Structure 1
Amino acid sequence: MGNAYVIVVDGLGVGAQEDADQYGDESMNTLGHVSEETGVKLPNLQKMGIGNIIPLASVPENGQPLAAFGKLREVSAGKDSTTGHWEIAGIQLEKPFPTYPNGFPKDLIDAFCEGTGVKKVLCNKPYSGTDVIQDYGEEHIKTGYPIVYTSADSVFQVACHEELVSIQKLYEWCEFARHNATIGEHEVGRVIARPFTGTPGNFERISEKRHDYSSIPPKNNLVQKLYDSGIKTYSIGKVSDLFAENGFTQYRPTKSNAEGISQLLSLMSAQLDNSFVFVNLIDTDQLFGHRLDPEGYAGSLEEFDRAIPAIVSKIRKEDLLIITGDHGNDPCSASTDHSREFVPLIVFPKAAAKAENLGTGDTFSNIACSIAGFFGMDHDFPGKSFLD
């Protein structure tokens, strides 16, 4: 039995969906705008057919692409990483996770403070993760109060200086928030521990010590069903966090896309068999999309592009490689938030797919259907397989 690899380039959208106006995202086109503004060159992804999905100013179409290509539509309510990855795994959400554009309500904050033994919290409103520690870090050090903030996504984020609140203590606070405060109507998609270090004016997040505590996914999802069927499941990057670490044989956290690619190549060289590898490459989203840095975004795509030959060289004839995204994050826009976009679909080898041009799939869950079929597993996931 072969191996299946799904690589999610975080925040890689290919144009606004039909319902994007409901999210204020009707003008978004992450890959299209990055190509137009930066002239990014992606020669290896171009060979795979990424320029065939939508017109790209700097990445031409390929008349004989090495892979099948298309794009996928998100049907779940929302546009965050948890929602996107869950839909890839066959979970469609009819109701979005709650968001807090005006900050968290008093009852939620009171529950968090009472359970953690802190008197109060700082900030409690949507904020940039890099700005919030600069603006509240000094007060945090003086008072000991944790910095609690959110974003446009359904997240409850807690930032503390590592010398004031140990990282282990911060994790304990976030675990309490996950299981005792952000529940019921306040069940956010993720609680995120955000440790930082440094001195006033020079605070820096410790990205490799970030930890996400996801809402518990329904058990009828691709990862759990593969695991229960005896197929080895591997997470690279933040994927396991998004599934509350459920259903994985092994998970490998990463500090960067470079490390994620290295971990992937390491696994591919380990003579795996009958295995599913789920990869998230976060830098495009976390470092560049949210920070409105199109040049950085382009550089991150080019880094991934340079790895494509090494990845493809390790795909055996019985294996399957899928490259996609989980939402958009247009760094050429005025918004630092995720965007409601189609995501790319690249399937290699091309012969495994039903057609060279797969068109527009009705749901990200087409990936779950395809992977389940690849492993010969019965399922009731929504969507349909794009494999032959």
Structure 2
Amino acid sequence: MEKRIIWIILDSVGMGELPDAHEFGDVGSNTIGNISKAIGGLKIPNMIKLGLGNIDNIKGLNRSINPAGVFARVAEKSKGKDTTTGHWEMVGVYSENGFPIYPEGFPTEIINPFKEAIGTEILGNYAASGTEIIKELGEEHIKTGYPIIYTSADSVFQIAAHEDIIPLERLYEICQIAREQLVGINAVARVIARPFNGEVGNFSRTANRKDFSLEPPAGTLLDHIKEANLDVIGIGKIEDIFAKKGITKAIHTKDNMDGVNKTIEYIKKDTKGLIFTNLVDFDSKYGHRNDHIGYANALEEFDGRIPEIIDAMKDNDILFIMADHGCDPTTESTDHSREFVPFVGYGLSLKRDVNLGTRLTFADIGQTIGEILNVKPISLGESFANEIIGGYIDEKH
């Protein structure tokens, strides 16, 4: 029977600064280690059992005497620390220069054509937390009807609007206009619709966020899997990150637990190829808001679902869990952090207790998946498939 991969990305769950973290202002960042220290110890026994605490140089976690999985510390080769850069590298795309960022807001050569195209003025145009900027400008937005434009340390052009003031369809249309204009040297990774609702003093963002991403270049792992007539099931914001490219079916989710529910639902189906899930709450709800308690609770909540995920898996299924960057909620910064990420893998067809050391690029994971699924290799990364295949199922044959 052909193997199937369940690939779950814990968005922003980093494990310590990369050697070049000083270039990004992230010295001292360690998302897992610092959270664990701040709360007196993370309680994530299921990931510990898989080998998370046995990864080289991980902080704040207990080791397992007999880990059930394979594990590694993984470095990001590309020059960035955002969702798009990380996910693209996983599937074989190296970003040499990263995407453009605008910490002082967007210049007039971007904003003026945008205002002309949408036919209104704008509010904001500075780097801010999404929840804070709607507190600051939400009332004025309701009075004027002008969209709120903001950015962050990431390569994003974000547009916030109250759903009763700018209907979703129009907000998405405005985002598409921005996406079409932001090309060339101003090709930000993502234009993001950030709708909210509620009354003045009590605004809250809705689940109708939508990302308008740059389209990745041809020849990613996802393209290769799709070309081999296998499934690429994108759960969460995967479809948005890849601008629908290489995805055969997309399922959007409300939150982490909905993402886990949908993942389990598709594990139980007779799909083949890849189930690719992003769980974004760690980053969006807790990391960016410097809420280390909420972040810890979310990690423990996810950990509690691992037995359920494993119980749903078929004999030839393989589970890979990793992250795409850091977002340490214990530091002063509210932005992503340049960190190594943890990787654990489990399956009946995998060996147990295999330390894969430090991998030099996220693409090692993608290259490994490609080899396991017997599809065309990607242009970046080294497969470690031969180091991990050979568990209980393979031994029976």
Q: TM-score, normalised by structure 1?
A: 0.96
Cα distance per residue 1:242-261 (max 9 Å; x no partner):
00011111111111001000
Structure 1 residue 67 corresponds to structure 2 residue 69: yes
1:36–1:153 Cα change, 3 Å = same
Cα RMSD after superposing both structures: 1.3
Superposition pairs of residues 4-83 of structure 1, within 5 angstroms: 4-38=5-39, 39-53=41-55, 54-57=57-60, 59-83=61-85
Structure 1 residue 202 corresponds to structure 2 residue 233: no
Provide the secondary structure at the position in 1 that maps to 2:250.
strand
How far off its partner does 1:144 sit?
1.3
Out of 298, 301, 315, the position equivalent to 2:299 is 301
One-letter amino acid matched to 1:192: I
Structure 1 residue 151 corresponds to structure 2 residue 152: yes
Superposition pairs of residues 129-148 of structure 1, within 5 angstroms: 129-148=130-149
How far off its partner does 1:67 sit?
0.4
Hey, what's the Cα distance between the residues in 1 that align with 2:115 and 2:223? 34
Hey, what's the Cα distance between the residues in 1 that align with 2:133 and 2:37? 31
How far off its partner does 1:203 sit?
1.1
Cα distance per residue 1:153-173 (max 9 Å; x no partner):
000000111111101000000
Hey, what's the Cα distance between the residues in 2 that align with 1:296 and 1:357? 30
Task: Look up the match of 2:86.
Answer: 84
One-letter amino acid matched to 2:64: N
One-letter amino acid matched to 1:188: V
Provide the secondary structure at the position in 2 that maps to 1:168.
helix
One-letter amino acid matched to 1:382: L
In structure 1, stretches of 5+ residues that fail to align are none
Task: Look up the match of 1:110.
Answer: 112
Provide the secondary structure at the position in 1 that maps to 2:199.
coil
How far off its partner does 1:350 sit?
7.5
Task: Look up the match of 1:276.
Answer: 274
Hey, what's the Cα distance between the residues in 1 that align with 2:134 and 2:44? 35
Provide the secondary structure at the position in 1 that maps to 2:385.
coil
Provide the secondary structure at the position in 1 that maps to 2:202.
coil
Hey, what's the Cα distance between the residues in 1 that align with 2:92 and 2:315? 26
Aligned residues: 383
Task: Look up the match of 2:166.
Answer: 165
Hey, what's the Cα distance between the residues in 1 that align with 2:45 and 2:247? 34
Hey, what's the Cα distance between the residues in 2 that align with 1:355 and 1:284? 27
Hey, what's the Cα distance between the residues in 2 that align with 1:189 and 1:55? 30
Hey, what's the Cα distance between the residues in 2 that align with 1:71 and 1:214? 28
One-letter amino acid matched to 2:186: H
Hey, what's the Cα distance between the residues in 2 that align with 1:152 and 1:215? 18
1:235–1:380 Cα change, 3 Å = closer
Hey, what's the Cα distance between the residues in 1 that align with 2:294 and 2:349? 34
Hey, what's the Cα distance between the residues in 1 that align with 2:97 and 2:124? 27
Task: Look up the match of 1:122.
Answer: 123
Verify the 8 A CA contact 1:353 1:387 in the aligned structure 2.
Answer: no
Superposition pairs of residues 217-366 of structure 1, within 5 angstroms: 217-272=216-271, 274-349=272-347, 352=350, 356-366=354-364
Verify the 8 A CA contact 1:354 1:386 in the aligned structure 2.
Answer: no
Task: Look up the match of 2:189.
Answer: 189
Hey, what's the Cα distance between the residues in 1 that align with 2:99 and 2:366? 21
Verify the 8 A CA contact 1:350 1:356 in the aligned structure 2.
Answer: no
Hey, what's the Cα distance between the residues in 2 that align with 1:318 and 1:31? 30
Hey, what's the Cα distance between the residues in 2 that align with 1:98 and 1:356? 39
Provide the secondary structure at the position in 2 that maps to 1:112.
helix
Hey, what's the Cα distance between the residues in 2 that align with 1:175 and 1:354? 47
One-letter amino acid matched to 2:185: E
One-letter amino acid matched to 1:197: N
1:350–1:260 Cα change, 3 Å = same
Hey, what's the Cα distance between the residues in 1 that align with 2:162 and 2:94? 37
Hey, what's the Cα distance between the residues in 2 that align with 1:4 and 1:148? 39
Provide the secondary structure at the position in 2 that maps to 1:209.
coil
Cα distance per residue 1:145-193 (max 9 Å; x no partner):
11000000000000111111101000000011101x2111110000000
Hey, what's the Cα distance between the residues in 2 that align with 1:263 and 1:245? 18
In structure 2, stretches of 5+ residues that fail to align are 387-397
Hey, what's the Cα distance between the residues in 2 that align with 1:347 and 1:61? 16
Verify the 8 A CA contact 1:237 1:260 in the aligned structure 2.
Answer: yes
Provide the secondary structure at the position in 2 that maps to 1:270.
coil
Hey, what's the Cα distance between the residues in 2 that align with 1:185 and 1:295? 39
Provide the secondary structure at the position in 2 that maps to 1:194.
strand
Provide the secondary structure at the position in 1 that maps to 2:166.
coil
Hey, what's the Cα distance between the residues in 2 that align with 1:282 and 1:55? 22
Hey, what's the Cα distance between the residues in 2 that align with 1:107 and 1:55? 45
Identity %: 43
Verify the 8 A CA contact 2:315 2:348 in the aligned structure 1.
Answer: no
